Amino acid sequence: MPQVSRKTMIIALIIFILAGVIIMNGWCHSLPEGISYEGSMHHVPNIEFLYDLTYRDQGETHHEQRIFDEKLSMIDKAESFIVMDFFLFNDDYDRTDTFPDLTQQLTNALLDKRQAYPDMPIILITDEINEFYGAYTASHLDELRNIGIDVVITDLDQIGNSNPLYTGIWRTFFQRLDPSGPGSFPNLFSPDSPKVTFSSYLRLLNFKANHRKVLITENSALVTSANPHDASALHSNIAFRFNGPVINDLLETEKAVAHFSGFRFPDLDHSLASPETSDVQAQVLTEGKIQEELLSLIDNAESNQTLWIGQFYISDRKTVKALKNAADRGVNIRMILDSNRDAFGVRKIGIPNRPVATELVNHSSDQIHVRWYDTRGEQYHSKMILLAGGKEIQVLGGSANFTSRNIEDKNLETNLRIVAPADHAFSQDVEQYFYRLWENQDGQYTLDYAEFGETGLLKKLLYRFQEWSGFSTF
C-alpha cells in the first residue's frame, strides 16, 4: 500500500479546513434585533375570519374571493397611515392562462390614496423576488416610488439562511457580485419580464424570503396567507382582520424589518384602548416563535379535543413528531392539505405533503385523518391550525407553512394566535370553515386520502433530505 506524502496530507487538511469554513459560513448567522418576536396577549374588540375558496360544484368552477377586496377596502378607509408587507406583489407568470390583475388594482389603490392624502405615511415592505433579486426595478414599484410612497425592499442578507450549504459557498465566492444591470438570461417567472443577470440567479438560489403577508392601518390590521399576486389570485387562502392594541405589536415587527433594510420607520401609533371586557384575545408571533407556539398547542391538546390543520406545506420534523405524540394520547387530528401537484403552471411531484401525510396516517390511521384539497391548477394556500373541543378554541394562522424554513428563524413570517370562547361568532366561523371543506358541504372541496397517499421510498428520502438541507422551495 503506497504511503501518503506529508505534503499531500497537508494539502488535504487545508482543503478540509477551507471546506469546513465555507460550510460554517452558511450555517452560522445571527438574527437582526426585533426578529423572532412574541407579542403580549391583548383583548381584541373586533375580529373576523375571512377566507378565499376555489372549488367545483356540479362540474362548474366557483371562486369565493374576499381577502383581496378587504385589502382594498382597508386602504380606501385609511386616513392616518398604511403599512404593508407582502411577499409576492407582481404580475409575473407564464401567460398560458389569464388571472385577475391584483397587482395593478392594488397599485392603483395606493396611487389614488397618495393623491388624496399627500402627507400620509404609506409604506410597502416587500421581497427581493419582485425585482428578481436585484436584477431590475419593477415598473409598478417605480410608480409607487415616483409618487412618494416608501417602497422598502427587504435586505435578505440579514435574515436566516434557508439553504445553508449553498449560502456558505455563495457568501465566500459570489456575494459581492452586483445582480443589477443588463441581463442576458431569461426571466424564470415570466417570458415578458426583463431578462436578468447570472448573479441574480446566484442570489435566488439562497432561497431566502420575506414571506409575510400583512396590512395595517389606523383602523384595523389583516394577517393573511394571501399574496396580492396575479397568478395567486385564485388560490384558497385564510385571513384575520382585527383591531385593538395588538396592532402596535404588529407595527413593531414591521419596524424591525424596515430598520435592518435601511429605512427609517416613522413613529406610528395605534392608540385604541384595550377592551378589557372582550372575550377574544390575540397575540402576534413571528419566525421561530411561531414554531414554539405551534408545538405548545399540539403538545397541550387532550384526548377529548380535535386538531384541525389546513396547510399548503407541512414538513417540519418537530411538528410531525408532536402530531404523532398527540395521536398516541388520543387526540383526533384532521388535516386538509394541498397535494403539492401545481405551482404556477409547473407540475410537481407531491413533496413534501404526500410523504408526510403517509407517515402520519401509517403511524395512527385511527387518530390521524387526511383529506386533500381538490385543486385544478390553483393551490390550497391556507396556513392554519385550530384546537377545538373545549370551552374555548385556539387558532394559529398567517403566512407560515409548517416547514423548518418558515418556522425556524429563516424566512420572515407573521402569524396571529387567537384564543376565543367556543360559542363566539369567530370560533364558529373557523370551525364551520373546516367542516365545510371536510364534508364537502354545498360543493366539491376535498378528496379522500387514498387519492394521493404516497408510499414511494424515493420521494420520502428526497423530502427528508430537502427538509434537512434547505435545498428546496418549501
Domain count, the chain: 2
Among 212, 228, 260, the domain boundary falls at 260
DSSP 185: B
Does 379 lie in the same domain as 322?
yes
Quick one: pLDDT at residue 217? 97
Residue 267 is placed in which grid cell? 413613529
Evaluate if residue 1 carries a pLDDT over 50: no
Does 293 lie in the same domain as 249?
no
Evaluate if residue 3 carries a pLDDT over 70: no
Check if the beta carbon of residue 413 is closer than 8 Å to that of residue 325: no
DSSP 122: E
* Cα three-residue angle 11-14-20, rounded to 5 degrees: 140
End-to-end alpha-carbon separation of the chain, Å?
A: 47
Q: Which helix (H) or strand (E) holds 464?
A: helix 457-469
3-class secondary structure, 277: coil
Does 333 lie in the same domain as 244?
no
Among 197, 230, 260, the domain boundary falls at 260
Check if the beta carbon of residue 311 is closer than 8 Å to that of residue 335: yes
Quick one: pLDDT at residue 469? 86
Does 351 lie in the same domain as 246?
no
Q: pLDDT digit string (tens) for 387-414?
A: 999 899 999 999 999 999 999 999 999 9
Q: pLDDT digit string (tens) for 334-379?
A: 999 999 997 776 778 889 999 999 999 999 999 999 999 999 999 9
- Torsion-angle region of residue 246: left (phi > 0), alpha (psi -120 to 50) or beta? alpha
Q: Is 45 exposed, middle or buried (0-12, 13-18, 19+ CB in 10 A)?
A: middle
Evaluate if residue 235 carries a pLDDT over 70: yes
Give the span between the Cα atoms of 372 and 174, in whole angstroms. Answer: 41
Domain extent, residue 104, equals 59-260
Q: pLDDT digit string (tens) for 52-88?
A: 999 999 989 999 999 999 999 999 999 999 999 999 9
Give the span between the Cα atoms of 433 and 420, in whole angstroms. Answer: 16
Does 286 lie in the same domain as 248?
no
Q: Which pLDDT band, with edges at 50, 70 and 90, does 115 fall under?
A: very high
Q: Is the peptide bond before 45 cis (omega within 30 degrees of 0)?
A: no
